[in-house]
Amino acid sequence: MQCAESLRVQAYFDGEVDAISAAEIERHAERCPDCREQLHDLERIRAGLRESVAPESAPQELRTRIARVLDEEVRSEKLEAAAARPRPDSRPSRTGRPFWLGLLSGIGGSAVAAALALVMWLPAAPSPFLDELAAAHVRSLMPEHLIDVVSSDRHTVKPWFAGHTDVSPTVVDFAAQGYVLVGGRADYLDHQRAAVVVYKHGAHVINVFSWDAANRRLPGSTTRDGYRMLFWKVGDLGYCAVSDTGWDELSELARLLKSQ
């Protein structure tokens, strides 16, 4: 009863696909009764939930409690800052400790989990660009999204990029080393048409994005939504290998590409 496209249909329903994919999915649903029924059910469930779940507000009493707690917190932060004042360097808050130390000492053992959550949020905080990369990688893993030009031949993939993207990255098949070139794709990244070279390493897909990164400082490596990202630059051309495979496997591919 469930069509292989059902996850994509769901993503379409949730507004998570671009205009081109949306049009594809709409065309598909016209022909596929299962997907039409799925869309109908998704709509019914959403409407039902939104009708029946009352849009509740936080009670006034809770707001008052929170205001009081924050008043106290501000007061104690001021006291702490005053106690730390003798230091000539006039950093106003805290005492030079990392904030999470303050958290741990301030609220006792039960707070450890929440404090950790704050710390874990840190690397994910500042960059919409990294989110864009992670989202592009995830989108590529949806059926039929991975590859625009299917080929293990670099002489097919490379010229295809010339017509479809703004950059011309290194394209080499490393099948002998375990990185099989499966094709290429154009993606929109950092306000330009980026080239994506797609490799398979065992069961893992590795997307190697490349784009003009002249004006962007790249991190060395990072993790986003559980995917690993490894960055490097060749001249102004920025590269980022994204995958759920291990760091060693990513680094090895980066090394091979850089050696070209």
Partner 1 sequence: MDDKRGRFEAQVLPHLDAAYRFARWLSRSASDAEDIVQDAVLRAFRGFETLRGSDAKAWLLTIVRNCHATANRQSALRALVPLPEEHDPHDGHAMIATTPDPEHASINRDDERTFARLLAALADEHREVLVLREVEELDYRQIAAVTNVPIGTVMSRLARARAALRARWHQQTEGAPRAVR
Nearer to partner 1, 161 or 227 (CB): 227
Least distance in angstroms from the C-beta of 2 to partner 1? 9
Which contacts (CB < 8 Å, 24+ apart) does range 111-114 have? none
Least distance in angstroms from the C-beta of 178 to partner 1? 23
Nearer to partner 1, 63 or 216 (CB): 63
| Spatial separation of the C-alpha atoms in residues 210 and 22, rounded to whole Å | 25
Rg (CA), the chain: 25
Least distance in angstroms from the C-beta of 165 to partner 1? 24
Q: Where are the alpha helices (DSSP H) in the chain?
A: 6-13, 19-31, 33-52, 60-83, 99-107, 112-121, 128-141, 154-164, 247-258
Nearer to partner 1, 56 or 89 (CB): 56
Nearer to partner 1, 123 or 159 (CB): 123
Least distance in angstroms from the C-beta of 235 to partner 1? 30
Nearer to partner 1, 24 or 244 (CB): 244
The encoded tokens of residue 36 equal: 């039409």
| Spatial separation of the C-alpha atoms in residues 117 and 128, rounded to whole Å | 20
Least distance in angstroms from the C-beta of 186 to partner 1? 21
Least distance in angstroms from the C-beta of 172 to partner 1? 28
Least distance in angstroms from the C-beta of 149 to partner 1? 24
| Spatial separation of the C-alpha atoms in residues 92 and 64, rounded to whole Å | 28
Query: Which residues of this chain interact with partner 1, rule CB under 8 A?
Result: 6-7, 10-11, 14-16, 37, 40-42, 44-46, 48-59, 61-63, 65-66, 69-70, 73-74, 77-78, 81, 92-93, 99-100, 102-103, 106-107, 110-111, 113-122, 124-126, 131, 134-135, 138, 141, 225-227, 244
Half-sphere exposure of 42 (CA within 13 A, CB side): 16
Nearer to partner 1, 134 or 181 (CB): 134
What lies within 8 Å, CB to CB, of 1 at 6+ separation is 34
Instruction: Report the DSSP beta bridge partners of residue 194.
Output: 187
Half-sphere exposure of 77 (CA within 13 A, CB side): 13
Nearer to partner 1, 227 or 231 (CB): 227
